[in-house]
Amino acid sequence: MNDFYIILTGILVAVSCSILGTFLVLRKMAMVGDAISHAVLPGIVLSFFITGSRESIWMLIGAGLMGVFTTLIIEWLHKKTKLQEDASIGVTFTFLFALGVLLISYFAENIDLDQECVLYGEIAYVPLNTIMLFGLELPKAIVMLAVVLILITAVIFFFYKEWVITTFDAPYAASIGMSTVLWNYILMSMVSFTTVASFESVGAILVVAFLVVPASAAYLITDSLPKTLFFAVLFGIISSVAGYYSASILDVSISGAMATAAGIIFIICFILQWIQKQIHTSPSILQAEEQDV
Amino acid sequence: MKELIRFLLLEDPNVRTVVFGTILLNLSASVVGSFAFLQKKSLSGDAVAHSILPGICMAFIFFQTKSLWVLLPGAFVTGWLSLYLVDLISRHSKLKQDTAIAVVLSVFFAVGIILLTYIQHSGSGAQSGLDSFLFGKAAALLEKDLITYAIISLLVIGVTVFFFKEFMLISFDATYAGSIGLPVRGLQLVLTTLTVIAIVTGIQSVGVVLMSAMLITPAVAARYWTDDLKQLLILAVFFNTIAAIMGAYISYRYPSMPTGPWIVVVISLFAFASILFAPKKGLVYSMYRVFKHKSLILKENILKALYQLGEQDNGFRDTRALNKLLAKRNLPLWQVYPALYRLMFEGYLQHTSKGWALTSEGMERGKRIVRLHRLWEMYLSKNLLLASDHVHDDAETIEHILTPELESRLEKSLNFPEVDPHSSKIPR
Amino acid sequence: MIEHVADPILEIHDLTVSYSKRPVLWNIDLTLPQGVLAGIIGPNGAGKSTLIKTAMGLIPKASGYVKLFNKDLEEVRKKVSYVPQRESVDWDFPASALDVVLMGRYGHVGIFKSLRQADKEVALDCLRKVGMEAFADRQISQLSGGQQQRVFLARALAQDADLYFMDEPFAGVDASTEKTIIALLKEMTAKGKTIIVVHHDLNSADEYFDWILLLNTRLVASGPTEKVFTKELLQKTYGGKLNILSSVGDLLHNEQFPNRE
């Protein structure tokens, strides 16, 4: 049963992250996602200290606010003080992450968090911490991740066309009256939720791998958004399963192995698209098509 | 206080190692980081820092030693490899550079975590030192490591100083640098190599995650104080050194506190303080400037209103009651009173029990504003072909900013007009 | 030479737009009649794109107002369509030509609801109008520049608006696409639609447009092509910026002087 719970945790993290990651990659905001996943750390530590629990609704709310706050700082630095965007990202997330590590040291006696957990999580401990729900004894982390996943899926599904258009062509979206700023903040809040929910299992750093790698791999080999989303989710699931079993064989970090598996899938996709490009750029096909216009 | 003095005197040999160690580790990072910042490559450093972890672990697995002369080359190799891969991915696929960076750094880091846990679980017991690359432990530095780092740092800084002019040029305008015959690719290669070396050496002080802060944050802080590259480098080093000393001191007083995150927090606070308070470029300064402009506009508008009242009855220096002034130009009282008294102190107004009157200086200045206003209206209607009822609003701003030089150019180009588009006389 | 019309479809009043306090559009005052194909002409950096972006509410105004159909933009958004510059989007986005054209229906469908078969038929019909029906399922990155521009035009058609703003629709397109597009635009104006196009090619301007706006930070001229497209006015537009105006603009920027606040 423990195996099942660990794999299920990995899958839940991977699916949530892959869906959001697809939009981060398409919006060229992969590093903003990276920054947010680091920057929510002080929020996690503080709400952990206050509520004494890693799985609470307050933690999600706190993280959502923290994510929006991080986005606001980055934008403020970039727009108001004319600092380059990449430098704004770099300065903001390192500062907040450092603050988080200091808080961990400060509360060291009161809370059960350590730096290793921050960096790569403790997915193997997920089954130990359970809660009774509908007469079932379920790991708390799984319940929380499932809630987040349902939330994300609902928000993406119901507002699919808003996501498509604000991502593809923001000026046009604004011209038909959509608030690009609002959708951006909603995305950033969801990235924060996911980071917090995934925190215990994969840590604040490896969650970036789950966000970006399967989505990038899927983006390389697909040509329509539904397919990109489908493959991103599929790759996320495959990495979780493959990562878990190879980690148990090699006796190494499970979340590390899951992220590495995603990396291997990415390499395969990269090579595939490269081969495809070599075939497709043979000039004769394109020229023939141009003529019948 | 006694503790601080004891710390600053460096009496304790441990303190000495820590302080010099922390300074040395980041010295080269802040120098080459300034170039990375200026080349808009702030996040590449993040990729390198994360990618160092697998290199160190592999070097340890193969050679089973913690000697820096083995681990650092390992770190260097994967650090370089990561940059190569970022370049490869962004060049040969539709992924943009920032996505490529995120992919590379997270996968390399994951591999590093796998290797690290492999080493831990294989139970050789010697892995403990490797943690310091993950989190940074400047306090755990040994004196012999210190010498190694000193040599590397001096080397990096030496090469940077030697190629200073060339690096400056390729950072500013690589195309031009190429056109005057500089080997741009070669120089970029040297600079990138130096960056990787600097990150590799710095990693022990703050750890992989925070390393990119040591590269760019000092440069960001320095950028708000100067436009000169040499000064920028010196300031970056200065901020870095102060932050390192403060970080070392905090973990000296409170041994449970990690040095690395403190250094990053301190240097970040320097950066935020610079962004807010630096002269000329700081936000507070520009807010002050806006305030100054607004108060200038208010004062000039009062003088202008009084002058216009004078135009109506040809009594330019007559005393006007406040309500007459407000009838001419409606302004909130809380703004008008302080402005009136300031104008009085500056010698533009006289105050009696009956009200306010322009002095001769005040009258001249009021006249100038009225003249500029009407000249600008004339200019807009003649050169921008605006209808005469559309020119007033713009002139309300521009009248306050025109310099005497622009004023005479304006007069000349309008051929010294007598009246404005509303047929009001332009005073001279 | 600025000709004003009664009952305009677009009215821009006293519009000033600044980037970092430097005005890029200075006191623009213009009116445009319904049913014209209007070209905005001027040198690089004259503020041509800024003008239509401001009209669409994408850029904040320093002063002035814009009225469309004698109303505020929010009230008439569905009757207005904006075609951004082709380079402004990433054509590597995973979507087909049809997907992009369908985006033109989004404004009509409203939040929460999804597209229907009827919307798809409208989109296909619009692709046919621009001669791209054979490419409906083609991934957009595989289209040529001209084809991408046609897709953008088809998206605008799918919006079924009365007033169109188009930002450089002829930039980087082949000659046959340019001909197709201009024929289509003329057909649309014949049906009473109004189209405002940012254009950078002086040679074709008088042939394409029946109304011309000459812009260089300030509005040099606005009126029917035969009245406005004169050597004298073009020289005024392209003869560089007005010295005094740009000096004052620099001054406003350097001093960060609050304009009309």
Q: How confident is the model at residue A290 (pLDDT cuts 50, 70, 90)?
A: very low
So what's the pLDDT on residue B369? 93
Give Cα separations from C146 to C142, C150, C151, C152, C177 (angstroms): 11, 6, 9, 10, 6
Q: Which of B127-131, B180-184, B392-396 has the lowest mean pLDDT?
A: B127-131
Out of B103, B114, B135, closest to residue A115 by CB: B135
CA distance B243 to B19: 11
**Percent of chain A scoring above 90 in pLDDT:** 51
For chain C, the structural domain boundaries read 10-255
Cβ contact (<8 Å) for B94 and C243?
no
Q: How confident is the model at residue C260 (pLDDT cuts 50, 70, 90)?
A: low
- A110 pLDDT higher than 70: no
- C259 pLDDT higher than 90: no
- C86 pLDDT higher than 80: yes
A89 touches B at CB < 8 Å: yes
B403 touches C at CB < 8 Å: yes
Cβ contact (<8 Å) for C84 and A228?
no
Task: State chain A's mean pLDDT as an integer.
Answer: 87
For chain B, the structural domain boundaries read 2-279, 282-428
The CATH homologous superfamily to which domain B2-279 belongs is ABC transporter involved in vitamin B12 uptake, BtuC (1.10.3470.10)
Summarised one tens digit per residue, pLDDT across range A123-140 is: 887 887 777 777 778 888
Contacts of C242 in chain B (CB under 8 A): 383
Give backbone dihedrals phi and psi of C12, rounded to 5 degrees, phi first. Answer: -115, 125
Contacts of C149 (CB under 8 A, 6+ apart): C86, C169, C170, C171, C172, C173, C177, C181
Q: Are C2 and C29 in contact (CB under 8 A)?
A: yes
Summarised one tens digit per residue, pLDDT across range C200-211 is: 888 889 899 999
Summarised one tens digit per residue, pLDDT across range B407-420 is: 988 888 888 888 88
Higher pLDDT: C197 or A62? It is C197
CA B171 to chain centroid:
17
Kindly report the number of other CB atoms within 10 A of residue C193's CB atom. Answer: 21
Out of B294, B384, B398, closest to residue C258 by CB: B294
Average pLDDT over residues A191-200: 86
Cβ contact (<8 Å) for A95 and B213?
yes
One DSSP character per residue, chain A reads -HHHHHHHHHHHHHHHHHHHHHHHHHTT-HHHHHHHHHHTHHHHHHHHHHHS-SS-HHHHHHHHHHHHHHHHHHHIIIIIS---HHHHHHHHHHHHHHHHHHHHHHTTTTS---HHHHHH--GGGGGGSEEEETTEEEEHHHHHHHHHHHHHHHHHHHTHHHHHHHHH-HHHHHHTT--HHHHHHHHHHHHHHHHHHHHHHHHHHHHHHHHHHHHHHHHHH-SSHHHHHHHHHHHHHHHHHHHHHHHHHHT--HHHHHHHHHHHHHHHHHHHHHHHHHHHT-HHHHHHHHHT-
Q: How far C44 CA lies from chain A's nearest CA (Å)?
A: 21
The complex scores an ipTM of 0.91
CA distance C132 to C140: 12
The class level of CATH for C10-255 reads alpha beta
Task: State chain B's mean pLDDT as an integer.
Answer: 88
Higher pLDDT: C228 or B424? It is C228
Summarised one tens digit per residue, pLDDT across range B213-246 is: 999 999 999 999 998 999 999 999 999 999 988 8
Out of A168, A174, A227, closest to residue C89 by CB: A168
Do you know the residue count of chain B?
428
So what's the pLDDT on residue B393? 85
How many Cβ contacts (< 8 angstroms) between chains B and C?
70
Identify the residue among B61, B114, B263, B270 best suited for mutation to test binding to A, counting A beta carbons within 10 A and taking the highest: B114
B262 touches A at CB < 8 Å: yes
B415: part of which helix (H) or strand (E)?
Answer: none
For C214, nearest residue in chain B (alpha carbons): B384
For B282-428, CATH gives: 1.10.10.10
Higher pLDDT: A209 or B280? It is A209
Higher pLDDT: C167 or B327? It is C167
Q: How far A137 CA lies from chain B's nearest CA (Å)?
A: 30
Summarised one tens digit per residue, pLDDT across range B100-148 is: 999 999 999 999 999 988 888 876 655 567 777 777 776 667 777 788 8
B235 touches C at CB < 8 Å: no
- A292 pLDDT higher than 60: no
Out of C16, C244, C257, closest to residue B410 by CB: C244
Average pLDDT over residues B319-345: 88
- A288 pLDDT higher than 50: no
Cβ contact (<8 Å) for C93 and A290?
no
CATH of A2-205 given 3.30.70.20, 1.20.1440.230, 3.40.630.10, 1.10.3470.10 = 1.10.3470.10
- C135 pLDDT higher than 70: yes
Identify the residue among C90, C115, C178, C180 best suited for mutation to test binding to A, counting A beta carbons within 10 A and taking the highest: C90
Q: How confident is the model at residue A291 (pLDDT cuts 50, 70, 90)?
A: very low
Q: Are A119 and B105 in contact (CB under 8 A)?
A: no
Q: How confident is the model at residue A284 (pLDDT cuts 50, 70, 90)?
A: very low
Average pLDDT over residues B76-85: 94
